[in-house]
Structure 1
Amino acid sequence: MKNFRKLYGLVVLLSLLGLSCKQITKSVNETFHPNDSLVKNYNQGNGVRLNGNGEDKRTTTVSTIPFIKRQQERTIIINDDTFNTAEMELKAKEMFKDIELLKQKQSPATAKEIQKRVNRFLKEMKLPQGGLKTIDTEKAIKTKKGLLSTAELAFAQEQLKKLPQYRNKEIIVYQSVHFYDNGSINIMLQHPVNLKYADAYEYRDGVWSAPKPVLARDIESRTFPLSKMRFEDARKVIKIYNEKVTQIEGAVPTTSAYVSIWDNDMRWFPASINGTRERFDIQFNNNGTLKSFRKEL
């Protein structure tokens, strides 16, 4: 199934990049006809020799090579899973046609609609959804970007202050702020009008999202002014934490940090370092500098 999903993922990826119908049909045929060039290249690369009837002439069995067999009734067997190629071809062409129509709309929701259409095809063919994840380009997209730089963190905070709903209003942080190693920030803010409410925001690719309502509890004691917090201090916390990690056997460095708010005060996390033999408590000042570091008994 792994090789099959890779072939299928390649076809879908090519279609999304704008191949013509003729090219897509060719790709479909190559994907769902294993006796064609793809399989021939695979066999040659793995030392497989076929006789006049297309049968393997080797006498030695290699368990790591998947068993692929073409049958007269237009089905293929890949690692003991049977697929009807005629049905797959028909449904794949229908999917490509729908994708072309979606692309013409040029709507902000086009990407999501295309993904839904691909998932519907996978579901109809009883294939695992998310098959595109086997493509290297997908892996590259998912690669972590790392925590934002000091300048980028400061810029994110300035952009937050410019949100139109908070114009001429003090921004109050509710409950927590998370700084992730994929370059995003999650924060909750007290509602600018109804102070009993709170909203969640996400910062990604240089832009803050629209507010999303959250269930707020103990909001009176779990708030802290944004003006008394600096996003760039997250890098200080991570740097100091990881310096201490190098002194502790078996401890693992961190790539992210977050602020938790209790009793109208902020506290940086992670707040402990676990080694294979020892555990340490580590505390930070509000500005990200080291406050205390001690071994737990």
Structure 2
Amino acid sequence: MKNPKQFYSLFILFSLLTLSCNHITKSIDETFHPNDSLVKKYNKENHFDTNGEYTGSTKTSTATAVQRHQERTIVINGDTVNTPEMELKAKEMFRDMELLKQKKNPSAAKEIQKRVNKFLKEMKLPQGDLKNTDADKPVAKAKKGILSASDLEKAEDQLKNLPQYRNKEIMVYQSVHFYDNGFINLMLQHPVNPKYVDAYEYRDGKWSAPKSVLASDITRRTFPLSGMHFKDAHKVIQLYNAKATQVEGAEPTSAAYITIWDKGMRWAPRTINGSRERYDIQFNNDGTLKSFRQE
């Protein structure tokens, strides 16, 4: 028997359906102890009398069969397994599994799997895994989301206190992005040469060193840092998601950003896309709702 699915399916099915030990023992007995009619049929077909003596004309090939029949053994993958021993170990296994289930521990499923594999190894049967159980399903990692309001305020204060901008007006160029991994990306007009722009990234509680970028229309695409507040990003996300729940098929957001044009700023996202409808949503500079309408 190269693939003993009968035994494996029996063990896994019983463990998942949480059957009682009595039912399990009964099923095992029925599996390993054929009823009298099957025994009589076997004896008749293989020329055994009621005492187990061979009644046919050929004895050389049946001696092993008689011995196996009397000792109640089976052969699996070329290995001889004693069925009373298998029955005893199976009962012990199901008893242990029942105790594990009674603990109601989240790790019980893995412990049960280990116990099943131990039995299969002892009986020289193929080992497998308990598939599709809740304990084995990969846990989906929730998105971290942007920094908390207090952390965003802290990041803003640190930006204002960068040595190169201390006691100077900070002009933000083009955009500010608040990502769902906690990072903040933005670009600032150079503190000395207004024709230049540098990029900065905030992560792990500190701002990076400046990196030069190629910029254009700097005058039209800058906005003072004093005119915005990073913590308002939380308001934008909360309001956006509240409106998204009203639109069939719309997805919530966990990130926000600011765009700058003509010396003005706008919060985004500015569109809520549903499966049937599309809405335009606008915010005031302080993150409060300005408008919400279907397009």
| Cα separation, 2, equivalents of 1:242 and 1:154 | 22
Matched with 1:153 is 152
| Cα separation, 1, equivalents of 2:220 and 2:253 | 28
| Cα separation, 2, equivalents of 1:174 and 1:162 | 18
| Cα separation, 1, equivalents of 2:236 and 2:188 | 22
Matched with 1:165 is 164
Q: State how 1:1-297 maps to structure 2 within 5 Å.
A: 45=117, 49=121, 58=125, 144-296=143-295
SS in structure 1 of the partner of residue 275 of structure 2? coil
| Cα separation, 1, equivalents of 2:246 and 2:115 | 53
In 2, are the aligned partners of 1:189 and 1:199 still within 8 Å (CA)? yes
| Moved segments of 4+, more than 2 Å | 41-51, 60-65, 142-146
In 2, are the aligned partners of 1:43 and 1:49 still within 8 Å (CA)? no
In 2, are the aligned partners of 1:178 and 1:258 still within 8 Å (CA)? yes
Normalising by the residue count of structure 2, what TM-score does the alignment of the two structures yield? 0.54
Label 1:168 to 1:64 Cα distance change in 2 as closer, same or farther (>3 A): same
- Measured on the aligned residues, the alpha-carbon RMSD in Å equals 2.9
| Cα separation, 2, equivalents of 1:62 and 1:166 | 63
SS in structure 2 of the partner of residue 151 of structure 1? helix
Question: How many aligned positions are there?
Answer: 177
| Cα separation, 2, equivalents of 1:208 and 1:274 | 34
SS in structure 2 of the partner of residue 236 of structure 1? helix
| Cα separation, 2, equivalents of 1:284 and 1:251 | 18
What percentage of aligned pairs have identical amino acids?
Answer: 64
CA drift at 1:49: 3.9
Label 1:223 to 1:43 Cα distance change in 2 as closer, same or farther (>3 A): same
In 1, are the aligned partners of 2:190 and 2:198 still within 8 Å (CA)? yes
State which structure, 1 or 2, has the greater radius of gyration over its C-alpha atoms: 2
| Cα separation, 2, equivalents of 1:202 and 1:148 | 14
Deviations 1:24-78 (A, max 9, x none): xxxxxxxxxxxxxxxxx98983865489xxxxx54x797999xxxxxxxxxxxxx
CA drift at 1:146: 2.2
CA drift at 1:168: 2.1
| Cα separation, 2, equivalents of 1:146 and 1:247 | 22
| Cα separation, 2, equivalents of 1:284 and 1:186 | 20
Gaps in structure 1 of 5+ consecutive residues: 1-40, 52-56, 66-135
Deviations 1:192-250 (A, max 9, x none): 11111111111112111111111112212110000101111111111110110111111
Normalising by the residue count of structure 1, what TM-score does the alignment of the two structures yield? 0.54
Deviations 1:71-126 (A, max 9, x none): xxxxxxxxxxxxxxxxxxxxxxxxxxxxxxxxxxxxxxxxxxxxxxxxxxxxxxxx
| Cα separation, 2, equivalents of 1:258 and 1:184 | 12
Gaps in structure 2 of 5+ consecutive residues: 1-112, 132-137
Look up the equivalent residue of 1:180 and give its one-letter code: Y
